[in-house]
Amino acid sequence: MGTMEWPLVLFTVLGETAIGIIFVLWWLDRAEVDPIFYKKAALLSGLLLALALIASLFHLGRPEYAYRAVSHLSTSWLSREILCFLFAAVAWLYFYSQVRQPKGKRRLAAGITSTFGLLGIFSSSMIYVLPRVPAWDSVQTPLFFLLTTGLLGGLTCLVLGRKTLKLSQLQELLLIVFTCVLVSILSFAIYLSMLNTAGMEGMSTVQFLLASPLFWLRVVANWLLPLILLVTYFSKQKTINANLVIMLFIACSIGELLGRALFYLSAVGISITALK
């Protein structure tokens, strides 16, 4: 069974949220967006990105040598991840400088930053696509990472802009969140069924997940509660209640953190011992 990797849980979830926020800002910027909301969200994304990068150092046995991580770009996804996140951090500085200017090219800067960030998240997920670990070795791993980006990025922007964004913009964000939750539920069901056919190690992961109270807490926080809240909202189509947004954000944040912790905890690696 895997180990609890809190630095990696924080790095991936915070990093994905930060990039998600910038991506959503780029998306919303097609129409007029409240400048105070935009500035607040941009600043928060930078703060989260910085926290994520700091958290990642605590995973290393020797953090002082972290600069060496970019020296094997030809085959190592970890090298590519670090490089992309470094570029995203530099691009964020440019992005924030544009946000502060009244006529800055903030949409272009947000596009550049989120492109590097999304490449970083994809590289991040590919680190875990290892033939040795059936729980990670599938297309689901990049999908899970990208879903976290959309879900938490969208929800953070919803929370920050709940009073200042237009109703149409808030509804658009809720639709993104709803899509992410639905795809997450469906893909996880497929993931569990695929794991059940992935040999002993895959079945061990399934058994671990189903027996873990953390997994069931995640089911409620990440899927059931948001689904009930969102279906109720879409069926009534009233104005967006601030409590709904905050509840969704808290539930999904807890769910995503638990989900990522379980991702590391439930990994069972194949250890070759059979002679042939």
Partner 1 sequence: MLKQIGFILDANRCLGCGACLKACQINHNLPPTLTWRTIRKIEDESSDGKRRFYLSSACNHCANPECMRVCPSGAYSKRRDGIVVHNSSKCMGCKSCVASCPFSVPKIHPETGKATKCLLCYDRLDLGMTPYCVKACPTRALLCQEIHSISLDQLIRLTAPLPGLRLTNPSVYYKEPRRLNY
Rounded (5°) CA angle 222-227-228: 120
The pair phi, psi for residue 60, each rounded to 5°, is -80, 145
Q: Is 217 among the residues that bind partner 1 (CB under 8 A)?
A: no
Q: Is 4 near partner 1 (CB under 8 A)?
A: no
Helices 167-195 and 140-160 sit at what angle, rounded to 10 degrees? 160
Task: Assess 137 for contact with partner 1 (CB under 8 A).
Answer: yes
- Read off the amino acid at residue 104: G
Report in angstroms how near the CB of residue 200 gets to partner 1 at its nearest. Answer: 9
Q: How far is the CB of 261 from partner 1 (least distance, A)?
A: 16
Least separation, in Å, of the C-beta of 3 and partner 1?
9
* 157 near partner 1, judged by CB under 8 A: no
- State yes or no: residue 86 binds partner 1 (CB under 8 A): no
Least distance (Å) between residue 8 CB and partner 1: 10
Q: Is 59 in the site for partner 1 (CB under 8 A)?
A: yes
Q: Does residue 271 interact with partner 1 by CB under 8 A? A: yes
Asked if 131 is part of the footprint of partner 1 (rule: CB under 8 A), the reply reads yes
136 vs 223, beta carbon nearer partner 1? 136
Which residues, including other chains, have CB under 8 Å from residue 237's CB and lie 6 or more apart?
none
- What single-letter amino acid sits at 147? L
Residue 239 in the binding site for partner 1 (CB under 8 A):
no
Alpha carbon distance, N-terminus to C-terminus of the chain: 26
Residue 196 CA: distances (Å) to CA of 12, 134, 135, 201, 234: 26, 10, 10, 9, 35
Nearest-10 Cα torsion for 77, 80, 82, 83:
180
CB 134 → partner 1: shortest distance, Å? 8
For the record, the structure tokens of 68 come out as: 């060496």
Q: Which is nearer to partner 1, 204 or 253 (CB)?
A: 204
Which residue matches tokens 């409240």?
A: 34
User: Which residue ranges make up the site for partner 1 (CB under 8 A)?
Assistant: 59-63, 65-66, 68-72, 75-79, 82, 127, 130-133, 137, 199, 267, 269-276
